[in-house]
Amino acid sequence: MPAARLETSRVTPLPLPGALSGRSGLPTRPAAAPDRSVYYAGPENSLVAAAVARLIAAAQTGNAVATPLTLIGPPGSGKSLLATGVAAAWSAAQGDDAVLSVTGLDLRRQLERALGAETERPGAVAELADHLAALKLLVVEDLDALAESAVAVELLTVTVDRLAAAGAALVVTASKPLGEIAGLDARIVGRLAAGLNLEVAAPAEGTRRELLVAALAAAGRHVEPAAAADLAAWLHADARRVLAVASDLQHRFGGRKPITKAEARSYITQAAAQEASTPLSDIAAVVARYYAMSLRTLRSSSRKAPVVLARAVTIFLARQLTPLSYDEIGRYLGGRDHTTVMHNFHRIDDRLPKDRALRSAIDDLLRRLGRAEMSASCVSKGEASP
């Protein structure tokens, strides 16, 4: 089943009993509920939250659920938190021996150790395979790492079939669609694709705002609504960075008074000033090469779709990596006015949470510019400067 999302208009907190705090950035542990983490599901992830909630409920009821469930998303989107939350709920209901939550790399290493033990302990691999097949829930995080071993892929393929025959559940996480992961053969792709494949999008602006407010509240701090809105608009779509900023704000602005809009703007200005600037000419040259066009074409008045996209990406990167205003960027790109440049910036910014291909392109361009990936550290200046 192809990746899909259901759009709604709410940001819904999804409690995850016993989930591990900090696995992928989305959780906070509210002081009143130390055994719980919370995943904040905005419109971009409402279907994901519904599927996970059903799977958690099934741990108690024993009802059939749609599995395998494959969660696909970039770092910081929360897929690991969701997967470990499911595992924790099933462990509490079914017992620790019935559930295994393991990374693809660790499962690969377990198999390698079993293979190495075969000479002294024949049947070690079969023992591992039988253990996996006897589970009521298997969670494999980071399928990409497991796919580097053909033997591990074969083990997982057999395990998927045995779990399905036993009516057991399987949850898998991956950073990219199954068909794009090198090393996965058609058999395992087909088996996982027959289940539910959902894209876990990086949190959109409304979700970032709710997460920021909740993270500060969990630490006993509060933030004015206007300040939270400014911070959420400035922060890029990475939950881990939202939590890092919440921690920084907590320590920077002590006391019991709410963080004000003025304090938030001051924080944004200082943080933006600390970002090393990349010349706009370098950004434009790298983007032009990436999209297979000349720099002259990129800066021209052409309205061809590839040129328009490349120009918008250049504007987006320029707002992240330089202190230039919309007017200054517009002058470099053929004398475009402030409004046009701003529109192009928001066109890219609005698409990023739901467009995996665009996120991948931006990350690739940032690497080529010698900057950290967007999902790891890069933030959008948004409206920080006119």
Q: What is the pLDDT of residues 242-284, one digit of tens each?
A: 888 888 898 888 777 899 999 998 888 887 666 667 889 999 9
Half-sphere exposure of 148 (CA within 13 A, CB side): 11
Peptide bond into 27 cis (omega under 30): no
Q: What is the pTM of this model?
A: 0.68
pLDDT of residue 25: 33
Residue corresponding to tokens 């009821």: 61
Q: What is the mean pLDDT of residues 10-34?
A: 49
Contact between residue 173 and residue 140 where contact means Cβ atoms under 8 Å apart: yes
Residue 361: phi and psi, rounded to 5, are -65, -45
Cα–Cα distance measured from residue 45 to residue 203, given in angstroms and rounded to the nearest whole number: 8
Average confidence score pLDDT of the chain? 83
pLDDT of residue 64: 62
Residue corresponding to tokens 């990086």: 202
- Which stretch, 11-15, 248-252, 272-276, 351-355, has highest mean pLDDT? 248-252
According to CATH, what is the number of the domain 280-378?
Answer: 1.10.1750.10
Percentage of the chain modeled with pLDDT above 70: 85
Strand duo 12-17 + 36-41: pairing? antiparallel
Tell me: pLDDT of 38 over 50.
yes
| Residue partners of 158: CB distance under 8 A and separation at least 6 | 129
Contact between residue 225 and residue 233 where contact means Cβ atoms under 8 Å apart: no
pLDDT of residue 381: 40
pLDDT of residue 11: 78
Tell me: pLDDT of 376 over 60.
no
CATH architecture classification, 12-18+34-199: 3-Layer(aba) Sandwich (3.40)
Query: Per-residue pLDDT tens for 191-200?
Result: 999 999 999 9
Contact between residue 36 and residue 17 where contact means Cβ atoms under 8 Å apart: yes
Strand duo 196-199 + 137-141: pairing? unpaired
Sequential DSSP letters for 154-195: HHHHHHHHHHHHHT-EEEEEESS-GGGSTT--HHHHHHHHTS
pLDDT of residue 352: 85
User: Which strand (E) or helix (H) includes residue 139?
Assistant: strand 137-141
Tell me: pLDDT of 292 over 60.
yes
